[in-house]
Amino acid sequence: MTTGERIAVLGAGQMGNGIAHVFAQSGFAVTMIDVSSDALTRGRSTIAANLDRQSKKGTLPAGDKDAILGRVATSTSMDAVGDAAIVIEAVTENRDLKFKIFADLDRQAKPGAILASNTSSISITEIAARTQRPELVIGMHFMNPVPVMQLVEVIRGLATSSVTTTRVLELTKTIGKTPVEVQDYPGFVANRVLMPMINEAVYCLMEGVGSAESIDTVMKLGMNHPMGPLALADLIGLDTCLAILEVLYDGLGDPKYRPCPLLKQYVAAGWLGRKSKRGFHSY
Ligand SMILES: NC(=O)c1ccc[n+]([C@@H]2O[C@H](COP(=O)([O-])OP(=O)(O)OC[C@H]3O[C@@H](n4cnc5c(N)ncnc54)[C@H](O)[C@@H]3O)[C@@H](O)[C@H]2O)c1
């Protein structure tokens, strides 16, 4: 895929605007689509603020910001996917929503366009089955924050073709990221390993083994993690963490993945982490 082709990103939340940012920075024309015009406005401001930060750090030549932002068009209509060579979906982590969106995308995207999902845990095979082009459906799991993190987990569904996989692996390298190809099992690799650790940290908090600060400090200083598991959960979004644990629990049927009741309570209270200014820590 070349920079002459357009990329559509569905969802302008923390992941969607990050994905739009890295493609625009690599020279691609991007259309960022969201049902909420507020989310699009916030998404564009986040891209602008992150580009400023890169300029200050000296990782982006001064003066590139306007050209990069100029490559990001926005729309509240899914019709805008019509001229994209690849659509990357990054909407809320909800199975039924993603299933409906892929059935719609299949009708609206041009023939031959790749349909990728940034899902953290939902089956690519099941998403692909909602379309008439399962060979062109693939997982492209970016890490948060997208402009900073190197990895993209590329998930091959049962029907994903080798041609689609090769094109997505190459595209990932074109934007300066490192792809790792994995198979389609609940949570793939990243969240299959990460979420049980986060969940266990929440159990430690619930049982009073330590305070949020103590638990995070043990993991930072003791295991050399750049941030503690509870701070990381706040960054990911506690609603997203809960949704991923539910997929692991349902999909693998092992009680070790049962979401901690305290995590459920926080989500029920609307304490979703950084995005709501309150999670295990306050922001
Ligand atoms: N947060 C993370 O750390 C992280 C990391 C990797 C992958 N992901 C995955 O990325 C996806 C998005 O997560 P996020 O953290 O960016 O969520 P978010 O809540 O920040 O953003 C989701 C966006 O989707 C939009 N949306 C909802 N329904 C829509 C629809 N029908 N059409 C268009 N837009 C719609 C919402 O308005 C919102 O702007 C999820 O699948 C999540 O699992 C998240």
Q: What tens digit of pLDDT does each residue of 150-201 get?
A: 999 999 999 999 999 999 999 999 999 999 999 999 999 999 999 999 999 9
Stated length of the chain: 283
The β-bridge partners of 8 are: 31, 87
Mean pLDDT to the nearest integer, 33-55: 97
- Judged against a pLDDT cut of 90, whether residue 106 lies above it is answered with yes
Domain finish residue from 183, 207, 237: 183
- Judged against a pLDDT cut of 90, whether residue 282 lies above it is answered with yes
How far is Cα of residue 175 from the mean position of the Cα atoms in its chain? 16
- Range of the structural domain that residue 195 is part of: 191-276
Active site residue 75: no
Q: Is 16 in the pocket of ligand 1 (CB under 6 A)?
A: yes
The pLDDT > 90 percentage for the chain reads 98
- Judged against a pLDDT cut of 90, whether residue 224 lies above it is answered with yes
Ligand 1 atom 20, closest CA: 13
Active site residue 191: yes
Mean pLDDT to the nearest integer, 251-277: 97
Active site residue 123: no
What pLDDT is recorded for position 5? 92
The β-bridge partners of 138 are: 116
φ/ψ region of 176 (left if φ > 0, alpha if ψ in -120 to 50, else beta) reads left
Are residues 243 and 195 part of one domain? yes
Are residues 80 and 47 part of one domain? yes
Mean pLDDT to the nearest integer, 83-92: 97
CATH code of the domain covering residue 262: 1.10.1040.10
AA identity, residue 31? T
Q: Provide the whole-model pTM.
A: 0.94
In a domain, 111, yes or no: yes
Rounded-to-10 torsion of CA 125, 130, 132, 133 = -40
Task: Give distance in angstroms: CA of 116 to centre of ligand 1.
Answer: 14
Confidence of residue 259 (pLDDT cuts 50, 70, 90): very high
Cα separation of 80 and 88, whole Å? Answer: 13
> Total structural domains in the chain?
2
Mean pLDDT to the nearest integer, 52-78: 95
In a domain, 76, yes or no: yes
Domain finish residue from 183, 201, 236: 183
Are residues 148 and 243 part of one domain? no
In a domain, 84, yes or no: yes
Q: Is 15 in the pocket of ligand 1 (CB under 6 A)?
A: yes
Q: Answer with the residue of higher pLDDT: 121 or 150.
A: 150
Cα separation of 132 and 282, whole Å? Answer: 45
Helix axes of 229-236 and 238-252: crossing angle, nearest 10 degrees? 100
What pLDDT is recorded for position 148? 95
Task: Give distance in angstroms: CA of 94 to centre of ligand 1.
Answer: 9
pLDDT, one tens digit per residue, over 195-222 is 999 999 999 999 999 999 999 999 999 9
Task: Give distance in angstroms: CA of 280 to centre of ligand 1.
Answer: 21
What pLDDT is recorded for position 62? 83
- Judged against a pLDDT cut of 90, whether residue 2 lies above it is answered with no
Are residues 235 and 152 part of one domain? no
Are residues 205 and 127 part of one domain? no
For residue 144, give the ligand 1 atom closest to its CA.
3
Mean pLDDT to the nearest integer, 55-73: 94
Q: Can you tell me which residue has the tokens 């692991």?
A: 248
Q: Which among 208, 148, 154, 207 is positioned nearest to 181, based on CA atoms? A: 154
Cα separation of 104 and 96, whole Å? Answer: 12
Ligand 1 atom 21, closest CA: 13
In a domain, 283, yes or no: no
Q: Is 11 in the pocket of ligand 1 (CB under 6 A)?
A: yes
Mean pLDDT to the nearest integer, 111-129: 97
Are residues 75 and 34 part of one domain? yes
Are residues 270 and 242 part of one domain? yes
Task: Give distance in angstroms: CA of 222 to centre of ligand 1.
Answer: 32
